[in-house]
């Protein structure tokens, strides 16, 4: 008698658990979903996902129905199944799954083939290199580089060539394409095609160390003219700074250790350890999604990026407090 209420209470938790489900799904928030495709490759994957889902639902319902049937049957003592059990096991237990799995395999092969290179020539070829923990981005035939963002013309197929200089990384834009691993010593290829303009979040999808989670990037799909204008800006060396603060900032930048690791085209700075900073002022983030790109975070990043992104390859910089606002103004002006 004493234990009954406890067991009863446990069952009362079931509806509560069900009520929690929408909350859990709300965790997704604005996170990109493969089930909200905006590109050719992701759309195909979505179709395959739903196919597997509905097959699983059908199998689940069927097995549960058989189970219920068996339970009911067993409870009616004295009745014996007169149908042929061996035939049932062969047909329903082996034959049917075989047919379903072969069909799914065939559809999977068809989808895999469709994810390969498209018939048309690429609108652009982008060389993306994985570093611990950021993405170097270069366009074939263009002098210039950016980091952690890839601009593409909407509706056109863009070839992405993937390399890594250190460990395994994985290039993943859930709304556009399935994952492609970056393997040392190899050049892997994948294709991006966005159906509609937008900004699509990408993420390293292969655990690659401490700041793996801060190895995000953005694919920016824009109409052809806007894309061309952006590419024009990327390939143009940074103009000489105009304001006084910016000029002083440039001096501080060039005299500091920054030049050992960073490039700003149009200046003597030509380091290649860290991201090219020629267009840093227009980027969506600092440190591959570690912080928003605004003057406050930029200052904090320069002085000690280790608090924002512990373990990253940029050591704290001994910048004179008086020079910091100028340095920030200069970097912000690089667009
Ligand atoms: Cu990575």
pLDDT tens across 291-330, in order? 999 999 999 999 999 999 999 999 999 999 999 999 999 9
pLDDT of residue 196: 95
pLDDT of residue 32: 86
* pTM tops 0.85, yes or no: yes
Between 32 and 213, the higher pLDDT residue: 213
- Domain 244-333 in the same topology as domain 124-235: yes
* CATH architecture type of domain 244-333: Sandwich (2.60)
Q: If we measure between CA atoms, which residue out of 184, 191, 149 comes closest to residue 169?
A: 184
Question: Quick one: 102 exposed, middle or buried, by C-beta within 10 A (0-12, 13-18, 19+)?
Answer: exposed
Q: What is the whole-number distance in angstroms between the Cα of residue 206 and the centre of ligand 1?
A: 6
Q: Collapsing DSSP states into helix, strand and coil, what is residue 141?
A: coil
> Across all residues in the chain, what is the average pLDDT?
90
Q: What is the whole-number distance in angstroms between the Cα of residue 191 and the centre of ligand 1?
A: 19
- Locate the domains of the chain by residue range: 34-114, 124-235, 244-333
Q: What is the whole-number distance in angstroms between the Cα of residue 204 and the centre of ligand 1?
A: 5
Q: What is the whole-number distance in angstroms between the Cα of residue 292 and the centre of ligand 1?
A: 20
* CATH architecture type of domain 124-235: Sandwich (2.60)
pLDDT tens digit sequence for 165-194: 999 999 999 999 999 999 999 999 999 999
Q: What's the CA dihedral at 158, 163, 168, 169 to 10 degrees?
A: -30
The alpha carbons of the chain give a radius of gyration, in whole angstroms, of: 28
Q: What is the whole-number distance in angstroms between the Cα of residue 66 and the centre of ligand 1?
A: 46
Give yes or no for a contact between 46 and 35, defined as CB atoms under 8 angstroms apart: yes
Residue 98 has pLDDT above 80, yes or no: yes
Q: What is the whole-number distance in angstroms between the Cα of residue 235 and the centre of ligand 1?
A: 27
Res. 215 pLDDT band, cuts 50 70 90: very high
Residue listed under structure tokens 């639902």: 57
Res. 2 pLDDT band, cuts 50 70 90: very low
């Amino acid at each position: 008698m004493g234990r009954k209420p406890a067991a009863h209470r446990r069952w009362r938790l079931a509806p509560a658990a069900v009520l929690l489900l929408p909350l859990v799904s709300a965790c997704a928030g604005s996170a990109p979903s493969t089930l909200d495709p905006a590109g050719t490759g992701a759309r195909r994957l979505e179709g395959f996902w739903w196919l597997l889902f509905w097959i699983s639902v059908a199998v689940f319902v069927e097995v549960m129905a058989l189970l219920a049937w068996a339970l009911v049957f067993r409870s009616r003592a004295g009745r014996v199944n007169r149908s042929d059990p061996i035939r049932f096991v062969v047909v329903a237990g082996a034959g049917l799954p075989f047919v379903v799995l072969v069909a799914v395999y065939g559809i999977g092969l068809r989808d895999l083939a469709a994810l390969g290179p498209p018939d048309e020539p690429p609108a652009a070829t982008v060389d993306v290199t994985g570093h611990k923990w950021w993405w170097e981005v270069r366009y074939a035939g263009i002098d210039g580089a950016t980091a952690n963002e890839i601009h593409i013309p909407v509706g056109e197929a863009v070839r992405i060539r993937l390399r890594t200089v250190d460990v395994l990384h994985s290039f993943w834009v859930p709304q556009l394409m399935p994952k492609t691993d970056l393997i040392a010593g190899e050049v892997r290829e994948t294709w991006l095609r966005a159906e509609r303009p937008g900004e699509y979040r990408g993420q390293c999808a292969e655990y690659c160390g401490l700041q793996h989670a801060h190895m995000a990037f953005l694919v920016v799909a824009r109409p052809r003219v806007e894309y061309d204008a952006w590419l024009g800006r990327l390939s143009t060396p940074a103009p000489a700074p105009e304001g006084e603060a910016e000029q002083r900032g440039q001096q501080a930048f060039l005299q500091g250790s920054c030049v050992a690791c960073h490039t700003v085209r149009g200046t003597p700075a030509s380091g290649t350890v860290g991201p090219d900073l020629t267009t840093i002022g227009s980027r969506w983030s600092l440190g591959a999604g570690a912080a928003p790109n605004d003057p406050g975070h930029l200052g904090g990043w320069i002085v000690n990026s280790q608090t924002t992104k512990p373990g990253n390859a940029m050591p704290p910089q001994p910048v004179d407090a008086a020079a910091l606002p100028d340095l920030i103004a200069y970097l912000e002006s690089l667009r």
